[in-house]
């Protein structure tokens, strides 16, 4: 039996972590090549991430929210749409993130594109998408995902896996494949309107490129600044 003080491979993990580092050799990101808006720049990088970025889910992003007292929480969600109006994801409005965003709309989105030595960080405010937009997206979801949105009171404690499966089975019996599933009133989109968008490109010797767009106060254009790595 293992005793305190025994040295195992598992104990060695923290030491290995300290020496784990990659040397980034990627091409840099310079001011002249940046697009005029962060949306165009995001579109360029997203296309690269989605085609040859070596990423399993390039649209997976870490959404960080904070409650009314400023206590943060994070989770991964999928980006489902972006354009000049902002970045959209869908979730349960009664979930922790949903409740936090209703109380405090300030939010951060982080795209961890590690295989490309890139990350994009969007900071801004979130507001609910309109019901028509939500319904249009809901209709594109597979039947099973539509039922899942009804079956789960996201973020609340569930008694058991069986309880969850039973809730799903009940819904599947009520709405068989081919039958239209109504859009749950507690479910929908958030659109994040950016105030800043930072594009981070890993470079050699930790001298990374960080170019950050900030929206002008009057809504007229973007300022770009280089941040120290």
Ligand X SMILES: Cc1cc2nc3c(=O)[nH]c(=O)nc-3n(C[C@H](O)[C@H](O)[C@H](O)COP(=O)(O)O)c2cc1C
Active site amino acids: 206
Report the nearest approach of ligand X to the CB of residue 79 (Å): 8
Residue 158, classed as helix, strand or coil, is coil
Give whichever of 155 and 214 is closer to ligand X, judged by the CB atom: 155
| Residues whose CB is less than 8 angstroms from the CB of residue 2 and which lie 6 or more positions away in sequence, other chains included | 8
| Tokens, residue 229 | 């790595």
1 vs 3: CA distance, rounded Å: 6
124 vs 228: CA distance, rounded Å: 21
Give whichever of 80 and 210 is closer to ligand X, judged by the CB atom: 80
Report the nearest approach of ligand X to the CB of residue 95 (Å): 3
Give whichever of 99 and 195 is closer to ligand X, judged by the CB atom: 99
In angstroms and rounded to an integer, the radius of gyration of the C-alpha atoms of the chain is 21
Report the nearest approach of ligand X to the CB of residue 90 (Å): 6
Report the nearest approach of ligand X to the CB of residue 141 (Å): 11
182 vs 219: CA distance, rounded Å: 37
Residues found near ligand X in the complex (CB under 6 A): 57, 60, 73, 75-78, 89-92, 95-97, 154-155
| Residues whose CB is less than 8 angstroms from the CB of residue 19 and which lie 6 or more positions away in sequence, other chains included | none
Give whichever of 59 and 196 is closer to ligand X, judged by the CB atom: 59
């Amino acid at each position: 039996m293992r005793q305190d003080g025994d040295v195992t491979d598992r104990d060695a993990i923290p030491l290995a972590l300290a020496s784990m580092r990659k040397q980034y050799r990627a091409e840099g990101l310079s001011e002249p090549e940046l697009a005029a808006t962060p949306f165009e720049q995001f579109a360029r990088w997203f296309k690269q991430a989605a085609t040859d970025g070596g990423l399993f889910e390039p649209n997976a992003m870490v959404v960080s929210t904070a409650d009314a007292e400023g206590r943060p929480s994070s989770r991964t969600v999928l980006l489902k749409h972006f354009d000049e109006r902002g970045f959209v994801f869908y979730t349960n409005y009664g979930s922790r993130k949903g409740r936090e965003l209703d109380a405090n709309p300030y939010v951060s989105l982080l795209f961890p594109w590690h295989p490309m030595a890139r990350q994009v960080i969007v900071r801004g405010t979130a507001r609910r998408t309109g019901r028509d937009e939500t319904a249009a997206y809901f209709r594109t979801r597979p039947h099973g995902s539509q039922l899942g949105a009804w079956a789960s009171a996201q973020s609340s404690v569930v008694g058991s896996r069986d309880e969850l499966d039973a809730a799903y089975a009940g819904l599947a019996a009520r709405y068989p494949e081919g039958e239209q599933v109504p859009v749950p009133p507690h479910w929908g989109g958030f659109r994040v309107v950016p105030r800043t968008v930072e594009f981070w490109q890993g470079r050699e010797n930790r001298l990374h490129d960080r170019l950050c767009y900030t929206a002008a106060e009057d809504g007229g254009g973007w300022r770009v600044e280089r941040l120290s790595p």
